Amino acid sequence: GDDDSSSGDRKVTFGYIGDYSGSAALAVAAKQDLWSKQGLKPDLKVFTNGPLQVQALGTKNLDFGYLGPGALWLPATGKAKIVSVNMLGQADRVIARPGSGIAKPADLKGKKIAVPAGTSGDMILNLALRETGLKPSDVSVVPMDPSTVVTAFGSGSVDAAAIWYPLIDNIKKRVPDLVEVTRTEDFYPRLTFPNVFVTQPELAAKDPELVRKVTAVLRAANDWIVANPTESEKITAAFLKLPAAQLAGSTKYVKLLPSAELTKLTQDGTVNGWFDNLADIFVQMDKMPKRDAAKDYYLGDLYAGAGGVPKQ
Amino acid sequence: MSEDTKPARPGGASPDTAEAPSAPGTTAKAPTGRRIPLPKPSSVLLSLCSAALGLLVWIGLTKSGIEDLPGPWAVAKRGAELVEDGTLFDDMGASLRRVLTGYLLGVALAIPVGFAMGWYPIVRRLIDPWIQFFRMVPPLAIIPLAILTMGIDEKPKVFVIFLAAFLSSVVSTYQGVVSVDSTLVNAARVLGAKDRQVFIGVVVPASTPFILVGMRIGLGASWATVVAAELIAAQSGLGFRMQQAQLYYDLPTIFVQLIAIGAIGLVMDRLLLLAERRLTGWQERR
Amino acid sequence: MSEDTKPARPGGASPDTAEAPSAPGTTAKAPTGRRIPLPKPSSVLLSLCSAALGLLVWIGLTKSGIEDLPGPWAVAKRGAELVEDGTLFDDMGASLRRVLTGYLLGVALAIPVGFAMGWYPIVRRLIDPWIQFFRMVPPLAIIPLAILTMGIDEKPKVFVIFLAAFLSSVVSTYQGVVSVDSTLVNAARVLGAKDRQVFIGVVVPASTPFILVGMRIGLGASWATVVAAELIAAQSGLGFRMQQAQLYYDLPTIFVQLIAIGAIGLVMDRLLLLAERRLTGWQERR
Amino acid sequence: MPTISFTEVSRDFALKTGEFHALDRVSLDIHDGEFITVVGPSGCGKSTLMNIAAGLLDATGGTVTVDGEPVHGPSPERGVIFQQYALFPWMTVRKNVEFGLRIAGVGRRERAKTALRIIDLVGLGDFADALPKTLSGGMKQRCAIARAYAVDPKVLLMDEPFGALDALTRVQMQDSLLETWNRDRRTVMFITHDVDEAVYLANRVVVMAARPGRIHRVIPVDLPYPRTEKMRLSAEFADLRREVWNAVYHQPASSERTTP
Amino acid sequence: MPTISFTEVSRDFALKTGEFHALDRVSLDIHDGEFITVVGPSGCGKSTLMNIAAGLLDATGGTVTVDGEPVHGPSPERGVIFQQYALFPWMTVRKNVEFGLRIAGVGRRERAKTALRIIDLVGLGDFADALPKTLSGGMKQRCAIARAYAVDPKVLLMDEPFGALDALTRVQMQDSLLETWNRDRRTVMFITHDVDEAVYLANRVVVMAARPGRIHRVIPVDLPYPRTEKMRLSAEFADLRREVWNAVYHQPASSERTTP
Ligand SMILES: Nc1ncnc2c1ncn2[C@@H]1O[C@H](COP(=O)(O)OP(=O)(O)OP(=O)(O)O)[C@@H](O)[C@H]1O
Ligand SMILES: Nc1ncnc2c1ncn2[C@@H]1O[C@H](COP(=O)(O)OP(=O)(O)OP(=O)(O)O)[C@@H](O)[C@H]1O
Ligand SMILES: [Mg+2]
Ligand SMILES: [Mg+2]
C-alpha cells in the first residue's frame, strides 16, 4: 500500500526472500501502511538467496536485505551490517529415515546425510555432530539443493538429512514415520538461528536517520506479527501470491520476540552472543578464515534507539 | 518454330521449373521406395496425434509409480487456479517482455557482428574464439557478473537472455555470410556494385536463410535462460514462479510454468518458421 | 592429341580442380575489393592477438571502477591455489566425466533419432514439436523431474547434460538428412541399393557435415548446462565449485571455474572442428 | 521382343495453374541392343520419359515394360547416367565405381579388378584415388559413366551425358561409347541437345515435340557401325543431320494450351 | 587502338605439388568492335584469361589494358556473363535486370523502361516477374544475358553462355546476339566449346592450347555479316569449321610438365 503515499517520500530498496520469515515483516508493513508513517516509500525486490542480496548491497542496488542464519557469515566478514533481528528460526531438523537405525545424533556416524550447503540445515548438522564429538569426516555428507533433499530423502537415497519445515511437511507425505534427530530448539538459548535484516556497510554511518526509520518500520511490523501470528500467515501468503494453505502453520517453526524483549536482549549482549557463537561455527566449518566481533556489524544501538521514536 | 523458344506465349508461363531435370518429381515419392504414396494425413491431425502422444507418455510416467510426479489433471487444476488469480498471465507478460527484449537485442547485435565476422576474416579470427568460449559458459555463472555491472533491475535479466540469444545466433549468421556464393558477389561487382552495394544487395539477402535459422536457435536459447535470468530479483515471471515453487517443492506449479514456457516458445518458433518460409520462398527446396 | 583428354599422363594429376571455372581463384581475394592481398598473419599470431584482446577488455573493465570485479591477477592467484591443493583438477575431472558421458549419449541418441526424423516425414511431424518444446524448457526446470525419476547419483546429472546435448544436436542432424541431395539417393537406387544400403551408403555420409555442426552446438549446450546439472547433489565439479563460490560471494573462484569451463569447452570445440575438417574434406569449400 | 516398351505413357504435373501435361500418350519400342537417341526442344519431356523408364518417376497413364516386366522402381539392370554426374563426393573414383558392385555383393578382390579395368577404359587410370572435387567436369562425367558401366546393366539410360564436355573430349567419349556398345550391344537410350551427336551415335533418332510432350518423328540412321570421323564429314551424314535438324526446328505448331 | 590488350599475361596457381601454369605469356589484342571467340581443350585457361580481363582475377605476370587503361578490378564497362548464370535467386527477372541500372543510379521510371525493353529482346517478356527458380535453364541464361546488356557495357565477356541451351534455342540466341552486335558493334570476347558456334559468330577464332595455357592459333573468319542459316551450310563455312577443328584437335604435343 505504498503507491498512494505522498511523492515526497524517501525511496528505499529492500530485498527479501519469498518464504514466510523472509517476507512476513514486509508483507505486514505494506498491509498496515507502516512505511508512509515514517515517510518512506519501499521498493521491494525478491531474491532466491542471501548472497545475491549482499552482492546487490555491495553494488548499491539495494539499501536493505534479508538474510537467513546460513548467510550470517557475510555480515561477519564485513560485507553488510545487521540492522535488526527478525525472527528466530526453529524450523531446522536433522531427520532420519525409519529403519536407518538413527535415533540420536551419535547414530549419524558413517551415515549418508543430505545437506543444502551453506544453509541453516548445514549448521544444525554441524552443531549436532559437534555435540556428540563426531567430526564431519565421520559421516558422508551429500550437498544438494533444498528441493533435491526432499526427493533424495523420500526415495531413500540417503539415510538422514539436515533440512527445515515446511519442506519436512512434504517429506512427511511420503515418509510419515521419519525420526527427528535434532531440532533447533535443542540449542536454545545457548545458540539460536536468527534471521536478520541487513544494510550496506556504509549506509549506517552515512544516513543513520534512514536506518533508524527503517528499523522502526520493522519493529512495528514485528510487534504486529507477534500480536497476530495467524493473521500474518495469511497476509504473507497473499503478499507472495501463494495458496494460504502453503504458509498456514509457519509460525509454529519460528520464535517471535516482541521488539521490547529484543531490545533488552540486545542491550544485555545476548544478541551479540548469538552472532558470535554462529560466527565461531562458521570459522570451524571453514566458511571463513576469521570473524569480526558482533558489535562491529550488529547495529544494536540503532535498533534500541529506534524503539524510542514516537509513532506518528 | 517450336513454342519453347518463345516462352512468352500464353500457357507457357509457369511449368518451366525443372531445375534438376534428371529427377523431376522424385521428391514426391517417399525415399523409402514405396511406390504408392500414402494419403498424406493433414497437418492438424498430425499435430493432434503428436500432442496426444506426449500426453500418453506423461500419463504413463505418472502411473508407472514415480511418486510425487503430478499427472496432467493435477497440473491442469493448478493451471486453472493460476489463470484465475491472474498470476499466470502476469508472469507470462513479465517473462515475455524480458525474453523479447533480450532476444531482439541479441539478434539485432548478432546480425551486424555476424556479418562483420563473415566479411572480414581478421574480425572472425579475433572474435570467434571468444564467441565459442562464452558459448560454453553457463548462464548461471554470468549472474554475479551481471549484477556487478548492471545492478538488479530489468537490465541484468535482459542481459543474460540477450547474451544467450546473441551467442547462439551470431554463429549461424556468420556461417551464412561465409557461405554466400562467390559467383553472386562477382556478378554484382561486374555490374559496378561497390562494397556497400554488394553487401546490401547480395550478402544480406543471400544469407537470410541462415540468419533465420540462427534466430530460431537463439529463440530456444533465450527461453531456456529465462529461469536463470529471473534468479536476479525478479518480482514476477514464469522462471521466478518456478523458482518459488521449488522453495515449497510445489511440483504442479513447476509443471504449469514449464508448460507455459514450452508452449509460448513453441508458438514463437512456429511464427519464425512461417517468416522463414515467406522470406526465403525464392530458395529451391527439396 | 592434346594431353587434356588423357589426364592419366604424369604431371597432369592435380590441377584439374576448377569446379567453378568462371571464377577460379577469386576466393583468394578479400571480398573488400583490395587487390593486393595483405600478408596473411599466422593463425598462432592471431590467436595470441585474440587472447590479448580479451585480456585487455577484462583489465579495462576492472579499472573502469566496477567494484569487486576481480582482475586477471587475483584470478590467476586463486587459480594457482586451486591447482596447488588439487581441487581444480579434481573438479575438472568430475565435470569432464559428466559432460563427456552426457554429451556422447546425447549425440549417440540424436543421430539415429535425427535420421529417423529426416527419413520418415511422419516421425518428424510427430516428434518435432516436442523437440522444439523441450528446447525452450530451461535445464533448471528439469532438475526436480530428473531427481524424481532418477534419484541423486550421477544419473540425473548426466541426464540433464544428455538432454541439452540431444536437443541441440538432433535438429541439426535431421536437417542434414532432409537436405541430402535426392539425386545422390537416386544414383544409389539405380545401382541397386535398397533402403538400408541407401541409408548407410549415402544418407549417413552425406549428412556428416550437418551432424558435426550439430555436435559442436551440442557441446556448447552440454557445458552450458553443467552448473545446473551439478546442483543435484554433486560432491565436486566445476559447476558445483562455482555454485559454492557463489554462496560465499567468492568472485575470483567463480572466475577460475568459468575460465576452466570455457577453456576446456574451447579445446573440445577445436578438436571437433579438426574432426570436421578431416571427415568432410571431400566437400567443396570456398 | 522390345527391351523397353512405352505404351501410351502420359505424365501430368499438378501446378497451381492446373494440370501440366509433360508427356502425352507416348508410345515407343526400343529393341534389344538398339542405340536410340532422343532430341527435342527444352522442356519437351525427354528427362521425364527417361526417369519413368528408370523407375524414378511414376507415369500417370500408360505402361512401361522392360523385358516384358512392368517397371516398378529402379533396378541395377537399368544403368542411369545423370546429367549432373551425381558422384558420391565422399568417395574416391575407385570407391564410386565399386559402389554398385558392393551392393551386388561382389567380393573385394573381384570388385577392385573390375573397377580398375573400367576406370582405365574411361581414361581415369591415374585418378583412381582422387576425390570428385579434384576432377574437372569432363573427368567427373567419365567417372559417372564408369560407375554405370561397372554393374554391367542390360540397359543404359543416359541423360545428356556429354553436355559438359568440350568438343574434343566429347568426340573421344562418343567414340569410346560406340566402341563399347559395338562389343556388347546393350540397349541404350541417350538424350542429347546436339543434333550432330544424335545422328553420329544412333540406330534411330527420336525427335520429341513440346506442349504436350510427345514423339514428333522417329528417324532411322542407316549408317554402318563402326562410325568414323570421316563418316561425320560425309554427304549422307550431312543429309541426316539436316533431316533431324529440320524435324526439331520446323515442328508444326501444336496446341498451345497447357491443358489441351 | 585495341580495346582489350593482353601483353605477356601469365597466371600461376600454387598447388601442393608446385606451381601450376594456367596461362603462360599470352599476348592478344582485341580491336574495338571486334567479335572474338575462344576455343580450346578443357583446362587450357580460357576462363582464367577472361576473368583476368574482367578484373576478377589478378595476373601473376604481364599486363592487361582495356582502352589503354590497366585493369584494376571489375567495372560495369566490361559486362560479364557467367557460365553458371549467377542470377540473384531472390530477385525476379525484372529486378535482376534492373540491378546494374540501380547501381548506376538510373531513375526508377527509366530503369523499368530499359529493363522491360531488354527483357522483351531476349524473349522473356511474360516472365518479367518470375523468380529464377521457376525458369528453365535456357530462360535463366537469357535473363543473365539481359542483365549484362542492361548496363550497356562497352565490352562483353561471355563464358560459354550458350552451353546449357538446346540446339534450337542456341541458334536463336546466336542470331539474336549477332543482330545486337551488328547494330552497336561492342567488343565481344566469347568462350565456347562448340567449334560451329565459334566460327559462326567470330571475326577471329582464338584457339588455345593447354599445359601451359597459351594461344595456339588465331584463325580469321572472312565471312560477311549478317551471318545466316544458309551460310552455316556453305562450303566456305565447312572449310573454316574443319580448320578450327584441326587446330583444336591436332595440336602439337607440348611440354607436358606442369612446371616447364
Ligand atoms: N516436378 C515437376 N513439376 C512441374 N513441372 C515439371 C516437373 N518436372 C518437369 N516438369 C515440366 O515438365 C516438362 C518436361 O520436363 P523435362 O525435364 O522432362 O524436359 P526435358 O525435355 O528434359 O528438358 P531439358 O532439355 O531442358 O532437359 C517441363 O516443361 C517441365 O517444366
Ligand atoms: N584456383 C585454382 N587453383 C588451381 N588451379 C586452378 C585454379 N583455377 C584454375 N586452375 C587450373 O587452371 C587451368 C585453367 O583453368 P580454366 O578454368 O581457365 O580452364 P578452361 O579453359 O576455362 O576450362 P573449361 O573449358 O573446362 O572451362 C585448369 O587446369 C585448372 O585446373
Ligand atoms: Mg532434361
Ligand atoms: Mg571455363
Min mean pLDDT across A56-70, C38-52, C247-261 is at: C38-52
Per-residue model confidence as pLDDT tens digits over A7-22: 567 889 999 988 888 8
Alpha carbons B102 and C160: distance in angstroms, whole number: 25
**A160-164 and A112-115 beta bridge pairing:** parallel
Q: How confident is the model at residue E17 (pLDDT cuts 50, 70, 90)?
A: low
Tens digits of per-residue pLDDT, C8-27? 323 333 333 333 333 333 33
Q: Is residue E196 part of a domain?
A: yes
The pLDDT of residue D218 is 93
Q: Is residue E120 part of a domain?
A: no
Of the candidates C19, A140, B114, B284, the one whose C-alpha atom is nearest the C-alpha of residue E140 is B284
In a domain, D235, yes or no: no
**In total, how many domains does chain D have?**
1
Whole-angstrom distance, CA of residue B267 vs CA of residue C103: 28
A65 and A50 in contact (C-beta within 8 Å)?
A: yes
pLDDT attached to residue C101: 95
**Regarding predicted confidence, which is higher, E84 or B116?**
B116
Asked if residue E114 belongs to a domain, the reply is: no
pLDDT band of E189, cuts 50, 70, 90: very high
Residues near C118 by beta carbon (within 8 Å), at least 6 away in sequence: C124, C173, C174, C175, C176, C177, C178, C180, C203, C207
Residues C177-186 have pLDDT tens digits of: 877 777 888 8
Q: Which residue has the higher pLDDT, D127 or C42?
A: D127
Flag whether the ipTM exceeds 0.85. Answer: no
In this structure, which residues have their CB less than 5 angstroms from ion ligand 3? B 21; D 47
CA distance C164 to C142: 10
Q: What is the pLDDT at residue A301?
A: 84
- According to the model, what pLDDT value does residue B24 have? 33
Whether A54 sits inside 8 A of C249 (CB atoms) is yes
Residue D202 falls inside a structural domain = yes
Which pTM was predicted?
0.78
The pLDDT of residue D134 is 67
Provide φ and ψ at B179, rounded to 5°.
-95, 10
Which residues fall within 8 angstroms of residue E175, CB to CB, at 6 or more apart?
none
Q: What is the average pLDDT across D149-169?
A: 82
What's chain E look like in SS3? Answer: CCCEEEEEEEEEEEECCEEEEEEEEEEEEECCCCEEEEECCCCCCHHHHHHHHHCCCCCCEEEEEECCEECCCCCCCEEEECCCCCCCCCCCHHHHHHHHHHHCCCCHHHHHHHHHHHHHHCCCHHHCCCCHHHCCHHHHHHHHHHHHHHCCCCEEEEECCCCCCCHHHHHHHHHHHHHHHHHHCCEEEEECCCHHHHHHHCCEEEEEECCCCEEEEEEECCCCCCCCHHHHCCHHHHHHHHHHHHHHHCCCCCCCCCCC
Contacts of D20 in chain B (CB under 8 A): 14-15
Look at residue A285 in the predicted model and tell me its pLDDT.
76
* Residue-range domain boundaries for chain B: 72-279
CA distance linking residue D149 with residue A66, whole number of Å? 82
**Nearest partner of A254 among A186, A189, A185, judged by Cα:** A185
Q: Supply the pLDDT for residue C14.
A: 32
- For residue E68, being part of any structural domain is answered with yes
Average pLDDT taken over every residue of chain D = 84
Looking at the DSSP assignment, which residues form a beta bridge with residue D188?
D35, D156
Mean pLDDT of chain E: 84
| CA dist., res. E41 & res. E25, Å (int) | 18
| Domain presence at residue D58 | yes
CB D256 within 8 A of CB D211: yes
What stretch of H or E contains D204?
A: strand D204-209
| The pLDDT value given to residue E171 | 83
Confirm or reject contact between B141 and chain A (CB < 8 A). no
In sequence order, what are the residues at sequence separation of 6 or more whose Cβ sits closer than 8 angstroms to the Cβ of residue D247? D207, D216, D217, D219
Question: How many Cα neighbours within 13 Å face the side chain of B141?
Answer: 31
Rg of chain A, C-alpha, whole Å? 19
pLDDT tens per residue, range D171-220: 888 888 888 888 888 899 999 888 889 999 999 999 998 778 899 999 99
**For every one of its 286 residues, what pLDDT tens digit does chain B have, with 9 covering 90 and above?**
333 333 332 333 333 333 333 333 333 333 333 333 344 556 778 778 888 888 888 888 888 766 677 888 889 999 999 898 888 999 999 999 999 999 999 999 998 898 888 888 888 888 888 888 888 888 878 887 888 788 888 888 999 999 999 998 888 788 778 777 778 888 898 888 888 888 888 888 888 877 887 888 889 889 988 888 888 878 888 988 888 887 777 888 888 998 999 999 999 988 988 888 888 777 655 4
What's the pLDDT band for A26 if we cut at 50, 70, 90?
very high
Q: Is the pLDDT of residue D258 over 70?
A: no
Flag whether pLDDT at C218 surpasses 80.
Answer: yes
Q: What domain range includes position D54?
A: 1-77+181-216+244-260
Index of the ligand 2 atom closest to the CA of residue E40 = 21
**Which ligand is the nearest neighbour of the Cα of D208?**
1
Nearest to C210 by CA among C250, C242, C244, C180: C180
Q: How far is CA B92 from CA A49, B239, B258, C137, in A?
A: 23, 9, 11, 14
Q: What is the pLDDT of residue B20?
A: 32
Q: Chain C interface residues facing chain E, Cβ-Cβ under 8 Å?
A: 1-5, 9-16, 18, 20-26, 29, 33, 35
User: Which residues of chain C are within 8 Å of residue B178 when distances are taken between CB atoms?
Assistant: 286
Distance CA E191, CA E206 (A): 9
**Å from CA of E44 to ligand 2 middle:** 7
> Rounded to whole angstroms, how far apart are CA atoms B229 and E131?
45
What is the model's pLDDT at position A94?
Answer: 92
- Confirm whether D37 is domain-assigned: yes
Chain B CB contacts of D249 under 8 Å are 2
Which of C133, C168, C242 has the most B C-beta neighbours within 10 Å, making it the best mutation to test the interface with B?
Answer: C133
Chain C interface, best mutation among A148, A167, A170, A285, by max C CB count within 10 A: A148
A241: pLDDT strictly greater than 50:
yes
From the CB coordinates, do chains A and D have 3 or more pairs under 8 Å? Answer: no
CATH number at residue E21: 3.40.50.300
Closest alpha carbon within chain C to D102: C193
pLDDT tens for each residue of C132-165: 888 888 887 788 778 777 877 888 889 999 999 9
pLDDT at site A308: 54
Ligand nearest to the CA of E211: 2
Q: Does B282 touch chain A (CB under 8 A)?
A: no
Domain boundaries C72-279, corresponding CATH code: 1.10.3720.10
DSSP three-state, residue A40: strand
Indicate whether A248 pLDDT > 90: no
Q: In whole angstroms, how far apart are CA E108 and each of A131, B190, C180?
A: 91, 21, 42
